[in-house]
Amino acid sequence: MENKRILVELTDEKDGVTGTAQYFYTHFPGTVYAPMAGYTKNVPFLVDCGSFQGIDNIDHLNSSFNFDITSPEFSILTHAHLDHYGMYPFAVSQGFRAPIFTTYSTKAFLSEVFLRDCLSIETRRAKKLNETPKYTEYEIEELKHSMIPCDFHNKIKISDNVSIYFFSNGHVPGAAITLVQLSYPGCEDINFVITGDYNDRNDFFEVKPLPEWVYELKNVIIIIEATYGGIKSSDLRPKCFIDNVVAALSQGKTCIVPAFSFGRIQEVLYKLKNAQGRRLNPKFETYLDGKTAIGCTNLFLSGAFKMHSRAKNFLPENLTIIEDKNLRHFLIDDPTPKIIVSSSGSGSYGPSHTYIKGYSNNPNSIVHATGHIFPDSKLGKLRDDASIATQFFDTDEFSAHAKQEVLGEFPRPFKHLKSILIHHGELESKNDLAYVYKETYDASVHVLSSKYVYQITSDGVIATLHRNLNTNVPIR
Ligand SMILES: [Zn+2]
Ligand SMILES: [Zn+2]
C-alpha cells in the first residue's frame, strides 16, 4: 500500500519587502477520491495578509487576491505591521470570515490604534479619488471580532489535525514566531516554524529562546524573513543619531525626526531619554506628533505587553505631546532649537510631511531619518534633492530586523530540519541568505517566489511548480 502523507501547497503572495501573505493549502489523506487523488480533507489557511507600501500608485496591488480569499479556515497574524495586516479589512469586504489567531498585544495594537487609522486613510483615499471606500466601519468591527488573542507558549488546537503555538520574537511588541503542526493518523507530522519579521532582541522586553522541545521536532520546515539577509552587523555604519542631534542642537538647529509609529518612535524617545543627562542637555524641548504614534506610545505606557522595568520610564524629560495640529505651524515658525519626533516614518504622510515641507528650505534644521528609506517616499526624494537647505541624515541603528549572522544561526539548533524557505526581502538579500544556508545546513533551501506553488510533505519541499495565477493551482 502506498504510504499516506500530508501534502501542503504553499504560495507566497508578494515578492518584495512589503505585502506579506502566505497561503497554505493542506491536503490531508482521505479514503474518498478527490480532485487531488487520494486527498480529501483540505484545510486552507493564511499567514498574514499585508499591504504593499512605500511607493505611489499602488492601489491596484492592494485590491485583489491571487487565491480564493473566502477559502481559508483560519489565519495567523504574526505582528501588527501594515505590510502584514493591511489587507485584512479588504479581505473581510470580499467575504473572508476566518478566525485570525494572534497574540494579545498584537490584537490590542490593532483594535485600539491601527485599524482606526487604516479606516481613516482608506476613507480619505476614496474621497480624494471620488471612489467608494474598499471597506467601512462594518469590516473593521468584523475584523476586531474575528481576532482571537492567544498567549505565548500555549498550544492552540485549531482542529484534530492542526495546532499552533506562538513564541517570543523581538521584532516589535506582540510579534511572534509561529509553530504550525500538521498531523494525521498514520502520517508523519509536518512542523512549520514561521519566523515572521524577526529579531532576537528588543530594548523594551525580554525575548525568550524557543523551548528545547521545538528543536527536537521531526520534519521541520523553517520559513524565515530576509530583510537584512545580506547585511552583517559589522557592515552597519557606526551609530550616529545622538551625535547628529547633539551637534545640530548645539549649532542652534531644530531636528526633525520622522519615525514609524509603532516601535520606532518609542525607541527614538528611549534613546533620547538615555542620552539626556549625559551628552544631550535636557533643557532642549522634544515634541511628539502623530495620532497613531501617540496612540502607540500610550499603549506602551499602559502595559499592553510585559515591559522591562528599566524601560518603563522611556519618555525624555521636557517632552510635549502635540494634540492640536495648529501648533505645528507655530513650531515651524519658532527658531528655538528643538527636537520634533513625528510620524510617518517615510515622511510622505502625517505631521512628518508638514514638518519636512516647513523645514526643507530652512538651513537651521536637520532632517534625520530613522528607518528604511523608500526611493519614492518624501524622505527618499529629500535625500536625493541637492537644492534643499536643511541637512539630511540617516542611520541604520534602529532596525527591528535581525542581520545575516543571527538569521544564519536561527536554523542551527533544529535536529530534524528538512527545508528552509526564504521570503520578505529584496531578491539580493534573499539570495545572500540562501547562500549562507546552503553552505551550512543539510536541508533544501528555497527562495520563495510568487510565481510558483511549493509542494511540501514531511520530506520538505518535494516540487516547485509553475503557478496559474487565475486558478491558483499548479500547472501540471
Ligand atoms: Zn514588521
Ligand atoms: Zn514586514
What is the rounded CA–CA span in Å between residue 141 and residue 59? 23
pLDDT tens digits along 27-52 = 988 754 445 555 567 899 999 999 87
Task: Check whether residue 290 and residue 144 sit in a common domain.
Answer: no
- Quote the percentage of the chain above a pLDDT of 90: 83
Closest ligand to Cα 50:
2
**Does residue 476 register a pLDDT over 60?**
no
pLDDT tens digits along 73-116 = 999 999 999 999 999 999 999 999 999 999 999 999 999 999 99
Distance 86 CA to ligand 2 centre (A): 11
Task: Check whether residue 428 and residue 372 sit in a common domain.
Answer: no
Distance 308 CA to ligand 1 centre (A): 21
pLDDT tens digits along 357-375 = 999 999 999 999 998 888 8
Distances (CA, A) of 308 to 170, 276, 277: 13, 20, 21
Closest ligand to Cα 172:
1
Task: Check whether residue 19 and residue 152 sit in a common domain.
Answer: yes
Q: What is the structure's pLDDT at 106?
A: 98
What is the rounded CA–CA span in Å between residue 255 and residue 244? 9
Distance 424 CA to ligand 1 centre (A): 10
Task: Check whether residue 216 and residue 246 sit in a common domain.
Answer: no
Ion ligand 1: residue ranges with CB closer than 5 A: 81, 197
Task: Write the CB contacts of 174 (distance below 8 Å, at least 6 apart in sequence).
Answer: 79, 80, 102, 103, 104, 105, 106, 107, 108, 109, 304, 305
Give the domain CATH number at 372: 3.40.50.10890
Q: What is the structure's pLDDT at 475?
A: 47
Distance 371 CA to ligand 1 centre (A): 12
Mark which of 373, 393, 413 sits at the end of a domain.
393
Distances (CA, A) of 306 to 123, 204, 206, 272, 326: 34, 9, 8, 22, 35
**Does residue 282 register a pLDDT over 60?**
yes
Distance 263 CA to ligand 1 centre (A): 10
Task: Check whether residue 32 and residue 134 sit in a common domain.
Answer: yes
Give the chain's radius of gyration (CA, Å): 23
Ion ligand 2: residue ranges with CB closer than 5 A: 83, 197
Residue whose C-alpha is closest to residue 445's, from 462, 464, 422: 422
Closest ligand to Cα 425:
2
Closest ligand to Cα 18:
2
pLDDT tens digits along 402-424 = 999 999 999 999 999 999 999 99
Q: What is the structure's pLDDT at 7?
A: 94
Task: Check whether residue 168 and residue 244 sit in a common domain.
Answer: no
Look at the chain and report how many structural domains it folds into.
2
Global pTM value: 0.93
Mean pLDDT, residues 12-33 = 80
Percent helix, strand, coil in the chain, to 5, is 30, 25, 45
Phi then psi for residue 88, to 5 deg, are: -60, -45
Distance 79 CA to ligand 1 centre (A): 7
Distance 318 CA to ligand 1 centre (A): 30
What is the rounded CA–CA span in Å between residue 261 and residue 431? 30
Distance 291 CA to ligand 2 centre (A): 22
Phi then psi for residue 81, to 5 deg, are: -110, 140
For residue 53, the number of C-alpha atoms closer than 13 Å in the C-beta half-sphere is 26
Distance 333 CA to ligand 1 centre (A): 36
Domain of residue 439, residue span: 7-228+401-474
Phi then psi for residue 259, to 5 deg, are: -150, 155
Closest ligand to Cα 169:
1
Q: What is the structure's pLDDT at 33?
A: 44
